[in-house]
Structure 1
């Protein structure tokens, strides 16, 4: 196995998925909070991924509000304030 493969294997996979758009200030704000807290996450741009947009619509009963943050346990936040996001992160 290559050293690069070993390094990737040891990295923790992000537990959080952030669905958003590049043009939304709330998405930028939530991502900045996650980045400053050192929280690993995968970012998915809904303008570029139609399948992901359908996932978000499924969570939101047909709506497509961003940011939508989805944890592996199925819990999610839609358009959270900074205080709501900090509380969910346990801080």
Structure 2
């Protein structure tokens, strides 16, 4: 079974949001590089070792649309076709 876990933390000292998108599949964990959804993909705030990224609010809104798509796709895989 696959599922998408979103961990969002507000940062008090700035207009940024830290987001960690974690995709669980085949008993493992894959962290999605959200830079591909941003206007400026070479964001200096992204460190692969942190498995997270600090986003400004306008970037957060753009990424949330993609996260919603992933959630919808994940839920479709989990739900039975007959709707029960």
| TM-score (structure 2 length as normaliser) | 0.24
The structure carrying a bigger strand percent of its residues is 2
Structure in which a larger fraction of residues adopt helix = 1
TM-score, length of structure 1 as denominator length: 0.24
